[in-house]
Amino acid sequence: MDKKKATLTVDGTVPIELDVLRGSLGQKELDIRTLGAQGYFTFDPGFTSTASCQSKITYIDGDQGVLLYRGFPIDQLALNSNYLEVCYILLYGETPNLDQFYKFQGSVTNHFVLHEQIHHILRGFCRNSHPMAMLCAMTGALATIYHDSMDVNRKTHRDLTAKRLLAQMPIMASMCYRYSRGKPFIYPRNDFSYAGNILYMMFSSPSDKYVVNPILERALDCILILHADHEQNASTSTIRTVGSSGANPFSCIAAAVASLWGPSHGGANEACLLMLEEIGTVENIPLFLQRAKDKNDSFRLMGFGHRVYKNYDPRAMVMRDICHEVLNHLEVKKDLMEVAMKLEYLALHDSYFIERKLYPNVDFYSGIILQAMGIPSSMFTVIFAIARTVGWIAHWKEMHDEGLKIARPRQLYTGYTRRNFNSKIK
């Protein structure tokens, strides 16, 4: 890492020298680790200007709209790879040869049988529970079952957990969907692809032969790749924070699932589709654009804007192409797509959005595709969670491989100064 120096002076005090760090790509960063000992903290709610760690996994250039997984451009991976191969790349840093890929695939399918005890946990939920609530609880409950992979200090345990979670997140997710519909659970097949198994476990019937639709299988595989990782987003930062205390992997992933559920994060795909349905027609768009710009209205254009991208989210571009392909293949009505495309056009020609560099993000088109595939909006963020599990695990493993340091930020205290206590209830 290339190092230069920066000098900080506060009210004419003795200058403080800080290292200026340069990674292999991206902006210069001030190394402020020595500031605390010199009596200063930095203040950055929401971490808008703060790097929390160093990582080799994913790189984003928000101004250029660039997203690289281990250096590979996201559009090349989405169009030419498959989700399990991308999982290997994110976890191990290099593309696998055929032998490595099949061994990796086998190490995941080995865990295709979920412990039956999980069924009892699922059956404790109301059938109309939100699937993200059920998935979050079930993921954390794996810590009550898999005691053979809980020691985070052992690399073998960390590897075993990674394979187990990659295998079992889609199984638990499809169980949540089937449970909410009173349908029997379907287990994955070793001869189906990762995406094919998700469709199979959700939509097949025990009494019929199920044929995976290759167009939908390919579209879902692309969606999984596009959502696999995204640097230090809220849920990945969550798993790094929870994991920094040495917490077990299942509790860490459950915390990440909880963070992803928020409408400002992974919950935006469900919120975006519900917004498009509420807009309903192209004629209603101007009213909703006005609401999105009104500071007194809490309404936000869901699927629009991003903390990092101040240009097109490269994933949204790929997603839009997949959208057209799936809608054409299924010959379904394109009303929502027309509303989405007109909304995108009008927003991108509106000074409010232009000045704030607000563009469609990964969540803007994904809901239209998933709905066309027959996946209900309540399952959209669950699909996102399945895809992002590999990213969460990759960052969690990277953090452990580099040595844990517990995350413990400080604060700007604005409360009472010291005062004596006099009870008013005695």
Footprint on this chain of ligand SDX (rule: CB under 6 A): 230, 233, 264-266, 268, 292, 300-308, 356, 358, 361-363
Q: Where are the alpha helices (DSSP H) in 181-284?
A: 194-203, 214-226, 234-243, 249-260, 268-279
Residue number, 193 or 232, with CB nearest to ligand SDX: 232
Do residues 310 and 62 lie in contact, with contact meaning Cβ atoms separated by under 8 Å? yes
Q: How far is the CB of 114 from ligand SDX (least distance, A)?
A: 26
Amino acid at residue number 385? A
Q: Which of 306, 313, 395, 400 is catalytic?
A: 306
Q: How far is the CB of 363 from ligand SDX (least distance, A)?
A: 5
Do residues 368 and 336 lie in contact, with contact meaning Cβ atoms separated by under 8 Å? yes
User: How far does Cα 6 stand from its chain's mean position?
Assistant: 35
Do residues 346 and 286 lie in contact, with contact meaning Cβ atoms separated by under 8 Å? yes
Q: Which of 229, 313, 363, 395 is catalytic?
A: 363
Residue number, 233 or 248, with CB nearest to ligand SDX: 233
Residue number, 160 or 272, with CB nearest to ligand SDX: 272
Confirm whether 306 is a catalytic residue: yes
Phi then psi dihedrals of residue 17, to 5 deg = -90, 130
The 3-state secondary structure of 125-141, one letter per residue: CCCCCCHHHHHHHHHHH
Residue number, 150 or 256, with CB nearest to ligand SDX: 256
Q: How far is the CB of 5 from ligand SDX (least distance, A)?
A: 31
Residue number, 114 or 358, with CB nearest to ligand SDX: 358
Q: Which residue is nearest to ligand SDX (CB)?
A: 305
For the chain, helix (H) and strand (E) counts, in that order, are 17, 6
Q: How far is the CB of 246 from ligand SDX (least distance, A)?
A: 25
Do residues 390 and 87 lie in contact, with contact meaning Cβ atoms separated by under 8 Å? yes
Do residues 323 and 259 lie in contact, with contact meaning Cβ atoms separated by under 8 Å? no
Residue number, 178 or 265, with CB nearest to ligand SDX: 265
User: How far does Cα 395 stand from its chain's mean position?
Assistant: 12
Q: How far is the CB of 384 from ligand SDX (least distance, A)?
A: 8
Angle ∠(359,366,326) on CA atoms, nearest 5: 120
What one-character DSSP code corresponds to residue 36?
Answer: G
Q: How far is the CB of 352 from ligand SDX (least distance, A)?
A: 7
Residue whose entry in the numeric block shows the structure tokens 């109301």: 126
Angle ∠(199,204,208) on CA atoms, nearest 5: 145
The residues annotated as belonging to the active site are 306, 363
